[in-house]
Chain A
Amino acid sequence: MMEITEKYIKKIETPVALKTQDLAVYYGDKKAFAEGTIEFPQHQITALIGPSGCGKSTFLRSLNRMNDGIARVEGQILYHGLDINNDQINIYELRKHIGMVFQHPNPFYKSIRENITYALKYHGVKDQSVLDQKVKESLQAVALWDEVKDSLDKNGKQLSGGQQQRLCIARAIAMEPDILLLDEPTSGLDPVSTRKVEDTLQELKQKYTIIIVTHNMQQASRSSDYTVFFNLGQIVEFDETSQIFTAPHVQMTEDYVSGNFG
């Protein structure tokens, strides 16, 4: 792995939701990601950008242990002062607090209602009125309620791509997580749907800390507060988004955001 010498990591003054310390991820013997030390500010949107294969998805998937059994993680990921890779951590409880939305919309083969109540039910919510309320609230939060309120028993698969993705976000936030991880959530969507998802995220950041991987630079610049630039399996720069896209501290970042990469 080539070592990048010039790096810039901004120190966060506001409350921190999640923090990684010297994080390194290995696939077998191969090091996919190294030396990630970063703090994610609470109730802000942080975008992770960088070329394909730079380790940003690997990094993201480590944050709620979706890499378990696939990759080996070294270093620390601190959430409420606890290292989440600790053996004693209940990963089912952890994933309730750190939710995730994937690249391709993946609603379950169930009704819209059941897509949302599925996880709530096995986490012990039984009261039907509470469940109904949750369905309504989470669909309202992603601005999908008005579109589907009369067809909650329709199969989630019958929605359009953009609606499916918003359903997946609704499903994740129904668990009321602290942190929401999104892995290129709009890469398969048209511009209109993309916009709706972005607007949704802006609403959601009042309550949640959002970390989003994106390939779309405009998306990062218009909808995030902080940006992390990854390259060659390392974090090159972390700063406020406005700073990164106008006057980054590192030359490599400047080359990437201005399109002069390589």
Chain B
Amino acid sequence: MDDIKQKLLSKSKQTTEDRRGKILCYACLSLIIVLIVSILYFIINRGTATFTQNYLSLTQFLTGKQWNPGHHQIGALPMIVTSFLVTILAAILATPFAIGVAIFMTEYAPRKGTKALRAVIELLVGIPSVVYGYIGLMVVVPLVRKLIGGTGFGILAGTLVLFVMILPTVISLTADSLKAIPVSYRQAALALGATKWQAIYKIVLRAALPGILTAIIFGMTRAFGEALAVQMVIGNAVLMPEGLGTPTATLTSQLTSQMGNTVLGTVSNNALWSLALVLLLMSLVFNLLIRVITREGVIK
């Protein structure tokens, strides 16, 4: 009897093992949290220095059109506008194609076709952005030049490159959300005398709407944050876009092209950090949007 009591009260090998595992997990987690917090701190600290240390105006930053940080002109509006324009245009262009392909994959294609298509789409995701940019530079820019004149660099070229880049993301996420709609929805519609297309168009797409919106926003997040490929075709002149074919710059393209040319602590450097801060805030907004959309009952 006492023997059992003794055993029950003593610490076993399992107890230490369990604790060790827990400590390991917590250690990893703490390290990552420290990393994330310091990145955030660094971006926010540097990004706000333009306004708190160099005493430049936030209003000028958000509404000004002159970008020349060396001379304390930090109007970032052209970049913000261009970033949003290429993102939204790419999403508008990609959405119908993505939904079409996703419907084909989930509703019409035979199993083998779906698998092959999936493989191709995953391949597209894996292509480095510099390759997309190179294709953009060599094929899309000359094409745009031929079509609408000018240099060919600008919003249209950027949009076209981003359209191809975000397409695989939007397709696969949309296909996932369509696949998640129970078969019984489709059956119910068919049993009421609906055609397959009526069932897809009115019932399946409707039920998958939150998922599809999430897919689009994920695509937009990717487009908004893409730097290299856009930088190669956008023209890199911080000017308000005057048409689809005039050289301009996005937040990311300006960062990539200028970051090697500034010294830490100078106004030019701080101004770039402010651009990074805008990007950070925007990705936060996109994330919040996704959260709101996927929350049950928001979209009725």
Contacts and interface: CB of A to CB of B under 8 A. Distances in A.
18 contacts: A92-B194, A92-B195, A95-B193, A99-B191, A100-B187, A100-B191, A102-B187, A108-B185, A108-B207, A110-B206, A118-B189, A118-B202, A119-B193, A122-B198, A122-B202, A171-B188, A172-B191, A175-B193
Nearest to A154: B300
Contacts of B194: 92, 119, 122
A64 interface: yes
Interface residues of A, number: 27
B263 interface: no
A257 B192 CA distance: 34
A172 B194 CA distance: 12
A4 interface: no
Interface of B: 182, 184-185, 187-195, 198, 202-203, 206-207, 297, 300
Interface hub of A94, A96, A100, A109 (most chain B Cβ within 10 A): A109
A190 interface: no
Contacts of B207: 108-109
B190 A171 contact: no
A193 interface: no
A168 B188 contact: yes
A104 B188 CA distance: 10
B22 to A, nearest CB: 40
Interface SS of B by simple majority? helix
Interface in A152-180: 155, 168, 171-172, 175
Contacts of A91: 193
A250 interface: no
Contacts of A118: 189, 192, 202-203
Contact of A66 (B191, B195, B203, B300): B191
Interface in A131-159: 155
A171 B192 contact: yes
A64 B187 CA distance: 12
Nearest to A109: B207
Contacts of A123: 193
Contacts of A172: 191-192
A106 interface: yes
B77 to A, nearest CB: 41
Given A66-B187, A104-B184, A168-B188, A109 B206 contact: yes
A171 B188 CA distance: 10
